[in-house]
Amino acid sequence: MKRFTLSFIVLVVAIGIPLLLIHSSEKDAASDDPRITLRMLNQALAKAIQTAEVNYYKPVDRHAMYQGAIKGALAAVGDPYTYLLSERDHQRSVENLYNAEFGGLGVSIYPDHRGFIKISKPMPGTPAETAELQAGDYITKVNGKQIYLGERTGMTLDDVVDLLRGAVNTDVTLTVQRKFLEPFEVKLTRAKISVPSVTSTMLEDKIGYIRITKFIGTDRAGGTEEEFNKALAAHKQAGMQALILDLRSNQGGLLDAAYHIADAFISEGVIVSTKGRRSEFDEEYPAHSNILCAPEIPIVVLVDEYSASASEIVAGAIKDTGRGILVGEKTYGKGVVQKRYPLTGIGAISLTISSYYTPNGTSIDKSGISPQVAVTEFKPDRIEQVMQRFVVEKNAIENFVTDWIEEEIKRTGEIPKDFGLLETELPQFRETLAKDRLPVSLRWLTLRAEQLFNLNVGIERVVNLKYDTQLQKAISIIKAGEVGETIQLYRTLNQTLKILGQELQNLANAPGA
C-alpha cells in the first residue's frame, strides 16, 4: 500500500496563490483564445513587472511581484485549498504538523489586550517548567530584544515564536516581569518539545473522554497516534465502559494520522479511499483486525460545524461502519486531500491532489456529515452578540479578572486556583456592565470569565459539563444504553430509504411512465 508522507487533510482559509513557472519555449495555446500562447503570457508577465519597476511612483519589489504572480496563478485554479505558503509558514507546518515537535522552551504564550506577551502555562518536563516560569508572567525581552506587539513595532506573535524557538541545545535569555517583583532574567536551553494534540479524562460511570484537537505526526511513534494510544490505554486500565471521542473544532491535519485513529476502532473493510486525476493518488486505506478498542465498548463521537477534513474521515468511518454514533452538529464538509510541494527559498505549494470517500463510497465535500443525534449548542441572539463584542473590545472582563487575581495574590500571597470565588462576584459585575449599557447574559459572562481566569492562572480544564449540552447528551445516551439502538435505527432507516429509492427508480423505468 502506497503512502504519501506529505499528503494531508486540513481546513485552510482561502488565501489565493500560484505556480507560474512556465517553460519559455512552450507554444501551445494557453487559453480559449488560440492566439494567446504560454510564451506570450510569460513575456507579458515579465513586461508587466518591468513596466511597474520603471514607471510606478514608488520603488517596486521585483521579488514580491513574482511571488504575487505565483499566488495569482494558484488562485486561478479556483480551489481554496490550493495556495502558496510563505517559507515561515511552511517551516512552522513542518514542525507542528509533520514532525509534531520543535526546538523550544515548552511555554504557552498569548498577547494581552495591550500587546504584551503573557505566559499561560509552562508544559511539564520542559525548560520553562525547570526555570519555574509561572502562568501570568510577562516576557518583556528575548535575548535583549524588546517584546511588544502592534503597529508601532510591527512585531507579531509569529515573530515572538521565532525568537523563542530554535535548535535544540541552544540558549535563549528571557527578561520576565512577575507581579510585585522587579524584572529578572532567566537563561534557558532549548529542548525538543512535543506538540500536544490530545487531552483526556475519565467521566462519571467509567465513561472515557478523549479530545483530539488536530491530527499530526508522520511518525507512528509520536504525534496524535501515540498520544491517543496512551490515553486509550489509561482509560482501559481504569475500567472504561464507554468512550466519548470529541472532534469538535478539529479542523484536520494528516490523513495517515486520522486513518490510524479510525483503525483503532474498525476491524474490517476500507476506512477511507482517495481518488485523483493521476492514478498514483488513488489509494485505499484498509482496516486491520487488531483493534485497540473492544467492539463491546460503546462509542459516541462529538462533532460540530468546525469539524473538518481529517476529523471528518474519522467521524465518517465510525458512522458508516456502525461502530459508533455521532452527536452534535453537521460537520464542515472538506472532502479533498492536499500535498505539500516545497519551493526552495520561497515556501511551499499546498495543492489539492485527490478527493476522499468514506467507507460507503460517499464524498462529503461541501455537504459535510450529519450526526445521528443533532444537538445544537446555545447561540445568543443578534443583540446579545453585539453586546458581547462591545464588552470584549472594551477588555472589560479581562480587566475585571486580572484585577481580581492581582488583589487575591496580594491578599493570600498565592496564585488563586478556585474560580468559584471569582464567580460569586460576577452577578454584581454584570449589573455594572448593564448600567454602562452593556447588558450580557450571566451564562456567557461566566464562561468568558472562567476562560480568562484559567488562562491567567495556568489551569487547563478538559471539560465543562455545566454548560456543554452536547457532551451532556452524549453521556445521557451512553447511560441509557441507547448507542446500539441508535445505530440499528440508523441502519434500518438507510435500508428503507434504499428500498424506496429503488422502487421509485423501477416506477420511473416502467412502460408508459
3-class SS of residue 86: strand
Which amino acid appears at position 335 of this protein? G
* Closest to 327 (Cα-Cα) out of 303, 349, 305: 303
The CA distances from residue 416 to 118, 425, 457, 462, in Å, are 17, 15, 7, 19
β-pairing verdict for 7-10 and 252-254: antiparallel
**260, 314 in Cβ contact below 8 A?**
no
List the alpha helices (DSSP H) in 458-482. 469-479
- Decide if 193 contacts 101 (C-beta within 8 A): yes
Report which DSSP code applies to 123. P
Contacts of 462 (CB under 8 A, 6+ apart): 199, 200, 201, 209, 211
d(CA 67, CA 463): 44
Query: Is residue 200 within 8 Å of residue 210, measured between CB atoms?
Result: yes
- 497 CB neighbour count, 10 Å cutoff: 10
Which triple of cell numbers denotes residue 45?
508577465
Q: Which is the catalytic residue, given 307, 334, 339, 350?
A: 334
What DSSP string runs through 361-380?
S---TTT----SEE-PPP--
Cell, residue 366: 461541501
- Among the listed residues 256, 263, 304, 320, the single catalytic one is 320
Helix and strand element counts for the chain (H, E): 15, 21
Is residue 403 flagged as an active site residue?
no
Q: How far apart are CA 125 and CA 344, in angstroms?
A: 36
Question: Which residues touch 95 (CB under 8 Å, ≥6 apart)?
Answer: 101, 102, 165, 195
Per DSSP, helices labelled H in 76-109 are 87-93
Q: In sequence order, which residues have a C-beta less than 8 Å from that of residue 443 and are 6 or more positions away?
A: 378, 467
Q: Looking at 194, 309, 311, 350, which residue is catalytic?
A: 309
334 included as an active-site residue: yes
Q: Coil, strand, or helix at residue 54? A: helix
For 382-403, b/e burial (b = at least 16 CB within 10 A) is eeeeebbeebeeeebbbebbbe
Cα separation, 55 vs 379, whole angstroms: 53
Catalytic residues: 309, 320, 334
